[in-house]
Every structure is written in structure tokens, then in C-alpha cells.
Structure 1
Amino acid sequence: MISIPTLTVNEGFVTVFSEEDFPQHARGGMNLTERIDALNLRIRTSEVGYESDWHVAGDPTLILVQSGILRIALRNGEHKNFGTGSMFIAKDYLPEHISFDTEKHGHCAKVVGNEPLLAVHIKLEQI
């Protein structure tokens, strides 16, 4: 079993950290998950000091950090740093009938440390 840190929403559509588990099966000396389909991928770079506004991911996206450190912060003050070699899934969202509340919803991201960010974004599905 491999667990991947995940940004999701609670029943009030407030972004929270959780873990998503993916069962693995032994195959020819490897441990593999079942096939995970994806829609597209993008390669991202962000300079040291980059900061996003508060937002939700929308479509579930797997982020693979190749170099640098990306800090993801939540409204409750909790944050996690994702550095070189780490990954997480961002899948916090709002249904169409709920407007984004700038005091309640989403997460923000910041590149911290002394190294620019290089990451791969893989869109897993479209909501």
C-alpha cells in the first residue's frame, strides 16, 4: 500500500489534508498500483518566493516535485512542505452552486528555500 498526501475538502468544502491509499501488487520484483488513468501533464517551474493566491485545485492533479520546496498552506494555519522527490494530490474543489469565499475556501502555495521549483502536474480526471 502506498499513501499519498492529499488536499481534499470536508463536508463544508473547507480544504483539509488527508491521505489517499493505493493498494500495490507484487509483479516481477516490483510493487505496482493498479493502472491510474490521466488526462494530461504539464511541467511547472516557479521561482523562489513565488506565492499563489488562495484557490482550489478543481480537477484532481498529482504533483511530483522534481526540485525545490513547495509549501501548501490551509486556512486553519496548517501547512506541509513538499520537497524534491515528494508528491501529493490536489483535489480540493467547490461545486458550481457554491461561490468561492476568500475567507473560507482553498489553499495557497509558496516556493520556499533557496531553490526554484520544478514539478510535474498530472491531471488525473476532470470534474
Structure 2
Amino acid sequence: MPAIAIPTISVNQDFVTVFGQEVFPQQLRGGMILTERIDALNFRIRESHPGYKTEWHVAGDPTLILIQKGTLRITLQNGDFQDFGSGTMFIAQDYLPENIDFDPKKHGHMAEVTDQESLQAVHIKLSKR
């Protein structure tokens, strides 16, 4: 059975942000290759200008991010990074439980627009944590 693997930004057992992937099985239906229905809560349309950069943060609620235009670099605390360009997607789902205080030297990821083109993306909140 075919499947689609979507890159993820998650946490390990120590709540340190890591890259991974989530696999969604697909089936052939009427000439289309589809996953099962994936529920979502809401969506936002985003634009960020060249040079935009966040502080260290966690996503909190799992969010599927679809890059329509531009390039978004996600950097982890250990220096690893991935660039997501037009036509790519990833799920940001790193979080901290309420009993752990956010430490900007240990937790989270950073996002930045890395080219001279504005970023256009759609954020789809998949669920509430």
C-alpha cells in the first residue's frame, strides 16, 4: 500500500525538539491516491517577509504547514536545520507539558525566511493539545 511521509518537528523523551516523520497510508480511490480523512480545527493564511526570524519557541498544538512560496528554515537547538520550500509541508508538533518551564537554551525550534522572496504558507491546526 502506498504511503506519504510528512516531516515532523516533535519532542523526544526529554522534551527536546527533534526532526522525525509521520507516515500516512494511502489508497487508490477513483484514480486518486488518498490518505484517510485527517481532521483539523482551523486554518490560517500566512505571509512573512524576507529576513523574518522567530525566537526559540514550541508549536504547542500540532499544525500542518504547507509552504506555497518562499523558503522557511527550521533550526533545532543542536544546530540541525531543514529548509522547506514551495510545495513542501511539515507538521510542527513540539510542545512542553504544563509542569515544565520553557528554557530557550534547551527547548523549541526557530523559524526564519532564508531567501529574498516573501514566504506564503497555510497553517492547518490539526488538533488541540
Confirm or deny a common fold (TM above 0.5): yes
Is 1:59 the equivalent of 2:82? no
Structure 1 segments (4+ residues) deviating >2 Å: none
Q: Could you tell me how far apart the structure 1 residues matched to 2:90 and 2:12 are?
A: 18
SS of the residue aligned with 2:20?
strand
Q: Could you tell me how far apart the structure 2 residues matched to 1:13 and 1:31 are?
A: 35
Displacement of 1:102 in angstroms is 1.2
Question: In structure 2, what is the equivalent of residue 100 of structure 1?
Answer: 102
Q: Could you tell me how far apart the structure 1 residues matched to 2:15 and 2:76 are?
A: 12
Question: In structure 1, what is the equivalent of residue 77 of structure 2?
Answer: 75
Question: In structure 2, what is the equivalent of residue 34 of structure 1?
Answer: 36
TM-score, length-scaled by structure 1: 0.99
SS of the residue aligned with 1:99?
coil
Consecutive unaligned residues of structure 1, counting only runs of 5 or more, are none
Could you give the per-residue CA deviations for residues 63-122 of structure 1, whole angstroms, max 9, x where no partner exists?
Answer: 000000000000000000000000000000000000001110000000011100000000
TM-score, length-scaled by structure 2: 0.98
Question: In structure 2, what is the equivalent of residue 44 of structure 1?
Answer: 46
Q: Could you tell me how far apart the structure 2 residues matched to 1:101 and 1:115 are?
A: 32
Is 1:20 the equivalent of 2:22? yes
RMSD over equivalenced CA pairs, Å: 0.4
Question: In structure 1, what is the equivalent of residue 115 of structure 2?
Answer: 113
Displacement of 1:12 in angstroms is 0.2
What percent of counterpart residues are identical?
65
Consecutive unaligned residues of structure 2, counting only runs of 5 or more, are none
